Amino acid sequence: MTAVPLRHPPADSARHHEHVPFLDLAAAHAQVRTQLDMVWHRAVDTSAFIGGEEVERFEGEWARYCEAEHAVGVANGTDALVLALRALGVGEGDEVVVPTNTFVASAAAVVLAGAAPRFVDVDPDTLLMTPDGVGAAITGRTAAVMVVHLFGHVADVDGVITIARRHGLAVVEDAAQAHGATRHGRRAGSVGDVGCFSFYPGKNLGALGDGGAVVTDSRELATRVRTLANHGRAGGAHYDHERVGTNSRLDALQAAVLRTKLACLDEWNAGRRAASARYRRLLAEIGVRAVAEPADSVGVDHLFVVRVPERDTVRARLADAGVATGVHYPVPCHRQPALSRFASAPLPVAEAAAPQILSLPMFPHLTDAQVDHVVAALARAVAG
Ligand SMILES: *Cc1c(COP(=O)(O)O)cnc(C)c1O
């Protein structure tokens, strides 16, 4: 497997205005460097690698931060989704409503749980799932709805819950891009039956490797996830296997890293929001359309996405100007070869957006000068 670069190109060039990386975590890590070094020493000194105090403490702190009763650490965000679905009893013969405009793992998790994703289109301004879209996709086989808070913006989870309750469906929140985001004052991940997080290094709260968590107010669900994530062990018994589980635990080292970085999460999210506010102000002046944040959401700007015609040309011109960009995501899930067999109806909003969307540099320590440089380069790039 190829390494995923989380900072390109090397740190030095970020200091020159002529180059803006897509994601630069160097400043964030410099802030907590001493504590991160201590985490490593403490783990080796105590030989606590799997489970133990750091994991328990992080789970408590993450539940509190999310304003949920329980948090269960798991190996990554994809497993968080799969285990949440399995704990809810979703499996063979079931359908789960999923927005097509999301990272492939949202939909893949449904398939891995044994169920079938039923893809729905998204709102043209926010590119998020809508309650109306969910309502139209419900069939006799629907067991759950997966709401994805893409880009760090919180989708209308309350509206989705209203519809889901009417049909007796469970609601899973994929909050892998929305650590700390709120809607009507409630944290992403804590509103549905169960919320799933990824701590992949590039996420708003990232480990120094893979990690994930499931949060819920239900003790029963939390226990089921914990059992499934730990070889199906029931209670404390090491060789009692109630169900076929898997090995998907959060490493003690990563838990300790996450505890350290959690102390900075609000500050880092505020840095992202400040950069995004500046982007929006400047982009309005040059007439470039940014993907909207829903009115009731206080997002955490995991990504900052604009829509431009001839995106690939604009992207190449930005690269020439030293501005690194991304595309999230170039192909809607229902068009991916791995998932196209689940496609039922055309999903025109997501299909129209896919060739236009462009993710601009976004990270907590993005400076005003860097934002200004990106927007100036974008103005030139769209002008041709
Ligand atoms: C990152 C991500 C995931 C998967 O998380 P991993 O930790 O990479 O497995 C799922 N859904 C969304 C929306 C994501 O951004």
Residue 3: per-residue pLDDT: 55
Measured from the CB, is residue 189 less than 6 Å from ligand 1? no
Bridge partners, residue 171, by sequence = 145
Measured from the CB, is residue 152 less than 6 Å from ligand 1? no
Measured from the CB, is residue 204 less than 6 Å from ligand 1? no
* Whether residue 13 has pLDDT greater than 70: no
**Helix axis angle, 219-229 to 77-87, nearest 10°:** 120
Counting atoms of ligand 1 from 1, which one is nearest the CA of 109? Answer: 10
Residue 14: per-residue pLDDT: 43
Residues 225-273: tens digit of each pLDDT: 999 999 999 776 788 888 899 999 999 999 999 999 999 999 999 999 9
For residues 369-377, give the mean pLDDT: 98
Mean pLDDT of the chain, nearest integer: 94
Counting atoms of ligand 1 from 1, which one is nearest the CA of 78? Answer: 9
For residues 42-61, give the mean pLDDT: 94
The H or E element containing residue 276 is helix 252-286
- Whether this model's pTM surpasses 0.85: yes
Judged on CB neighbours under 10 Å (0-12, 13-18, 19+), 92 is exposed
Measured from the CB, is residue 78 less than 6 Å from ligand 1? yes
Measured from the CB, is residue 119 less than 6 Å from ligand 1? no
Least confident of 7-11, 73-77, 154-158, 343-347: 7-11
> How far does the centroid of ligand 1 lie from the alpha carbon of residue 105, in Å?
6
